Amino acid sequence: MTNVLDQPYDNQNVSAAIVAGSAPAHRIFENDTVLAFLDIAPQGPGHTLVIPKSGVTNLFDITPDDLGSLLQAVQQVGKQLVVARGADGLEIQQLNGAAAGQTVFHLHFHLIPRFAGVPIIPHAEAEVADQAELAAMAERILKGADLGRDR
């Protein structure tokens, strides 16, 4: 597939390291092709990233089949987040290229549980969360369903 935005994949990015297991992450879903984990600088409680395990930079680099699998996981994890967090809604963000705000050049979807009347923290203002708080959040989310197994 042609790289529409001419951004080569950097296999040293943090998402690649998380997939490889060389960087820590609070994982809440995983199968053969997709991984979901809590964002280290959440814009709201339960902010989760869903990524393909393959090294693709943006939406234009992924194969249609892999995109289908990724979107199935986005839907599954999104439902779990809404239920586990008791959210009123779910914001899904997906950015392509630096001009669009992408800062990690590994395709990813942001899933942010939303609550009526509660604004999210702007991406540029989000702070790195305490690891114990992230671990507790991951545990609460995982208690909501058995996301780690294919159905």
Domain boundaries, position 34: 14-143
Question: Please, are residues 101 and 80 in contact by the beta-carbon 8 Å criterion?
Answer: no
CA dist 9 and 113 (Å) reads 29
102 Cβ partners below 8 Å, 6+ apart? 58, 95, 96
pLDDT tens-digit profile of 60-69? 999 999 999 9
pLDDT tens-digit profile of 97-135? 999 999 999 999 999 999 999 999 998 899 999 999 999
Going by their DSSP bridges, the two strands 48-52 and 27-30 should be labelled as unpaired
Greatest Cα pair distance in the chain:
42
Residue 4 lies in a domain: no
Residue 46 lies in a domain: yes
Amino acid in the structure at residue 93:
Q
Catalytic residue among 26, 106, 108, 110: 108
Question: Please, are residues 52 and 18 in contact by the beta-carbon 8 Å criterion?
Answer: no
The answer to whether 47 is a known catalytic residue is no
- Could you tell me the CATH number of the domain that includes residue 109? 3.30.428.10
What is the number of domains present in the chain?
1
Q: What is the pTM for the complete model shown? A: 0.91
Residue 85 lies in a domain: yes
Residue 24 lies in a domain: yes
pLDDT at site 146? 47
pLDDT at site 72? 98
pLDDT tens-digit profile of 9-55? 999 999 999 999 999 999 999 999 999 999 999 999 999 999 999 99
DSSP string, 2-30: --TT-----TTSHHHHHHHTSS---EEEE
Residue 149 lies in a domain: no
